[in-house]
Amino acid sequence: MMTADRNPSIPISSGGVLTIDLNSLKRNWHLLASKVGPAATGAVVKANAYGLGIETVVPALLSIGCQHFFVAHLSEAERVRALSATAEIFVLNGFLPGNGRIYRDLNLTPVLGSLAEIHHWKNFFGDHNDAPSAALHIDTGLNRLGISPSEAVTISQANLDGTLGFSLCLLMSHFVESEIDGSATTKRQIEAFDHLRRMFPDIPASLCNSSGIFLCTESYYNLVRPGYALYGGHPLWSSHDNPMEPVIRLEVPIVQTRHIGVGEHVGYGSLWSASRPTRLATLSIGYADGLPRGAESSQTKKGGDVLIGGTRCAMLGRVSMDLLIVDATDAPDEALKPGSYATIIGDELTIDAVGDSAGTIGYDILVSLGTRYQRRVIG
């Protein structure tokens, strides 16, 4: 488990320290790859590699053999391509007319998810037959992106008789609730995808995300595409132990402490008042740094916690833009000296736990990591 090992003599000019452990990231990828072989293991690095930074994460994954990357936007694909001339890069959010030359020049793979996108790519490919192959996204129940199963029949026939106008390199779909063990919805999706796959003989297939790797072992096909689990997120529901290593740790300085008496209020809106003599600690973090306002507490609502000297300290009142007030009454005195730090994410405060306490999910915590932290990369 990642532990704090900051050098307190190094001055910190930012609001906090976000430590990213690339060794843990690599071990997480190796764990997933060991489960799915001989299928290939890719990596989803959209949303700036889930908040950790494309330029930080992608080179680490390239160094251990990852060669398939999934992004949402073309701008993200350009950043990944700048790091590798050979990796296969899939752009998930569809193909827009006018962007074809970028895909061709950078050898990027569009993921086509509508008849209109297929039409536009066919027209572009007809004029530029050196353009890369495309991936085909078929919707099996999410109703978000992807052609319908009935439309897939038409595309399959065009692919078989040579009138599609371009080559396909991957067939894919997206799970609805693969984190739920025994889900009937997931079972129906797998059955539908198996049926559709048979319409596209010899085309590699991809279905499994992070959760699917653990719960849908019959559906690895040719390529899996984990995201959240790579970054330490829990790929299963909380009834299971998290098999992944934590990759990030977030610590912020304690700006000041003070004592208040019974009945005194704390923070904007006076949502919380003291029921005992209370020692407060004000921390240098707020919603501008990605800490959700949903972590606030009141007289009737329990909010999030931080760790000070290994002691859980409750967040009090509203989360401000730049500051957070916590109840440090039970924290050890030595942990509250000037220059001391509180742990926001780390140890028992996993990204999933932090998300849950704020009424959101760990994904939201990761992708909202602010730009004001000092990012410290180890490994």
Active-site position among 26, 46, 287, 373:
46
The total of other beta-carbon atoms located within 10 Å of residue 372's CB is 16
What is the C-alpha separation between 86 and 78, in angstroms, rounded? 13
Q: Which of 50, 58, 56, 63 is nearest to 89 (CA)?
A: 58
Q: CA dist 3 to 95, 306, 318, 344, Å?
A: 43, 15, 29, 13
Dihedral sign (CA 234, 44, 92, 370): positive
Active-site position among 103, 122, 220, 268:
268
373 part of the active site: no
Hey, what's the torsion of the CAs at 329, 335, 340, 342, to 10 degrees? -60
Strand pairing category for 168-172 and 134-137 = parallel
103 part of the active site: no
Q: 106 — phi, psi (to 5°)? A: -100, 5
Chain centroid to CA 28: 14
What is the C-alpha separation between 211 and 236, in angstroms, rounded? 6
Residues taking part in catalysis? 46, 268
